[in-house]
Amino acid sequence: MDAIFAQATASGRAGVSIIRLSGHQAFDIASKLCNIPTCGRLALRSIKDPNGDLIDRALVLCFDHGASFTGERVVEFHVHGGLATVSKLLAELSKSDGCRLALPGEFTRRALENGNLDLNQVEALSDLIEAETELQRKQAMQVLDGHFSEAGRIWKEKLLRAVALLEASIDFSDDEIPADLHIEVRSIVEATASSIMAVLERSVMASKIRQGFTVAIIGAPNVGKSTLLNSIAGRDVAITSDIAGTTRDVIEVRIDLNGLPVTFMDTAGLRETDDYIEKLGISMSYKRSEAADVRVFLVDSEEDELLISKEPGDIVVQSKADTRDVSGLAVSGKTGKGVSNLLKLVSKKLSSETMLDVAAIRERQVDGLKAANDCLSKTKVFLTQDPLPYELASQELYFACTQLDFVFGKIDIESILDEIFSSFCLGK
């Protein structure tokens, strides 16, 4: 049986978030991340990932089996509540073999199965379970686009047909089954895989919508980045001064840009330096700019070469438009000239990537879709082999369908048989 984990406290930013891990292997799994304390003692521990990078210094609490909520061994990580820390810990836990995100109500279910709830609680449990499901369901409904389920239904229908075609070739090889069925199977598999991939791509965007986009302002020292940021923010956020190398850290400002939550990040001016602190600031710039959704290069002139190479999609804007006449995109942080144009451009870029269309929001859905697509890729490989390994291709399709099941619901063998028999005249 798998060990399960989940955030026990409400999601979102908080001072402390509790992540609970339950299972007979919970202590082994947790030991990979930190030195677990003896049971019943809340102790401060450094939680690290396999590379030794620190995830958080947090309070850890262990419960032995028989003495926990679920009845199994339980480890609770009381981490600092930042979204990033929680995500990182959840991600690390999911990497462990035999360890996965809990299904709604699963901790409670385990508690029940291990006889950890007494007779009085048993009476009340049905209600409890109902409530939990409702809550989860409501949550899901809030974020889920109605079209998501429809997409799922269509994929399943298509894959069902693909399976049926392969099964017909297997179970009715003696009947007159057309020899080129695998061509249709292939086209179904390819179409479904692309469609799932598109949704996955949009899902990245969808989660960004929830968490916000980032725009990094990059440029040489003293080109006017901080001034620009202040202008966008409408107040003095960064320290601006005439001395090059003043902004050492990334300064951020989060604004509502036409409905999108966008964080503009100021970065340390890019230049060669021996100053240790400045170096740190610059390396931070590199990191942040790589992760940014849009990069704005603020330059003196359009031909400037910078330490970070430009890529298509980057916005290049000339600075200090108040002191000179330049052609092309230019701004002046001091006077505000051209800033609204720049913001329009940024907004346009983000909007074009933002399709308020079908997307998976929950991590479990994303995992399920990714796993399904892996199976479809394997199926595609089989479909190109000669002789075609029908039973292996069919098996991979079943694995894909099972993954979709986790996301959408069950597929039934009777429906496959219906599909086969309505398509072909079979049987003697």
Partner 1 sequence: MKHFDVVVVGGGHAGCEAIHAACRYGLRAALVTLDKSKTGSMSCNPAIGGLGKGHLVREIDALDGIMGRAADVSGIQFRLLNRSKGPAVQGPRTQSDRELYLQAVQKILAKENFTEIEGEVTGLLSRDGCIDGVMLSDGTSVHSYTVILTAGTFMRGVIHIGDKRVSAGRMGEAAADHLSNQMEQLGATFGRLKTGTPPRLNGNTINWEVLESQPADDDPVMLSFLSQSPSVKQVSCGITHTNQNTHEIIQENLGKSAMYGGHIAGVGPRYCPSIEDKIIRFPDKQSHQIFLEPEGLTTNSIYPNGISTSLPETLQYQYVRSIVGLQNVEILQPGYAIEYDFMNPMGLTRDLETNLLDGLFLAGQINGTTGYEEAAAQGLVAAIGVAKKIKGVPNIKFDRSSSYIGVMIDDLTSRGASEPYRMFTSRAEFRLKLRADNADQRLTEQGWLSGCVSAVRYRAYSKKMERLVACKLVLSSMSVSPNEARSAGIDLGLDGRRRNGHELLAIPGVSVEHVADLEPSFSKSSKATKKQAACEAVYITYIERQRRDVEALAKDLGVEIPKNFNYSIVSGLSSEMISKLSAARPHSLGAAKNIEGVTPAALTAVLLGLKSLELKKAI
Residues at the interface with partner 1 (CB under 8 A): 1, 109, 112-113, 115, 119, 122-123, 125-126, 129-130, 133, 167, 170-176, 385, 387, 389-392, 394-395, 398-399, 402, 413-414, 416-418, 420-421, 425-428
Q: Which is nearer to partner 1, 66 or 313 (CB)?
A: 66
CA dihedral 330, 333, 337, 343 (to 10 degrees): 70
Residue linked to tokens 């995100």: 101
The answer to whether the beta carbons of residues 36 and 60 sit under 8 Å apart is: yes
- Tell the smallest beta-carbon distance from residue 395 to partner 1 (Å): 6
- Tell the smallest beta-carbon distance from residue 188 to partner 1 (Å): 17
- Tell the smallest beta-carbon distance from residue 147 to partner 1 (Å): 25
- Tell the smallest beta-carbon distance from residue 186 to partner 1 (Å): 17
Return d(Cα 124, Cα 115) in angstroms, integer.
14
Element (H, E) at 18: strand 16-22
What's the Cα-to-Cα distance from 360 to each of 13, 196, 292, 364, rounded to whole Å? Answer: 21, 10, 21, 9
Main-chain dihedrals φ then ψ at residue 105, nearest 5 degrees? 80, 5
Q: Which is nearer to partner 1, 123 or 290 (CB)?
A: 123
Q: Which is nearer to partner 1, 180 or 303 (CB)?
A: 180
- Tell the smallest beta-carbon distance from residue 70 to partner 1 (Å): 15
Q: Which is nearer to partner 1, 172 or 286 (CB)?
A: 172
User: H helices within 172-224, ranges in order?
Assistant: 181-211
326 φψ region: left (φ > 0), alpha (ψ -120 to 50), beta (else): beta
DSSP at 138? H
Q: Which is nearer to partner 1, 205 or 388 (CB)?
A: 388
Main-chain dihedrals φ then ψ at residue 68, nearest 5 degrees? -130, 175
Q: Which is nearer to partner 1, 237 or 417 (CB)?
A: 417
Could you give the 3-state DSSP secondary structure of residue 274? coil
Residue linked to tokens 């049971």: 39
Return d(Cα 227, Cα 269) in angstroms, integer.
12
Return d(Cα 60, Cα 47) in angstroms, integer.
9
- Tell the smallest beta-carbon distance from residue 371 to partner 1 (Å): 12
- Tell the smallest beta-carbon distance from residue 367 to partner 1 (Å): 15
- Tell the smallest beta-carbon distance from residue 129 to partner 1 (Å): 6
Q: Which is nearer to partner 1, 303 or 414 (CB)?
A: 414
Q: Which is nearer to partner 1, 136 or 273 (CB)?
A: 136
Cis peptide before 387 (omega within 30 of 0): yes
Q: Which is nearer to partner 1, 29 or 308 (CB)?
A: 29
- Tell the smallest beta-carbon distance from residue 339 to partner 1 (Å): 55
What's the Cα-to-Cα distance from 73 to each of 28, 43, 64, rounded to whole Å? Answer: 10, 17, 5
Return d(Cα 333, Cα 321) in angstroms, integer.
8
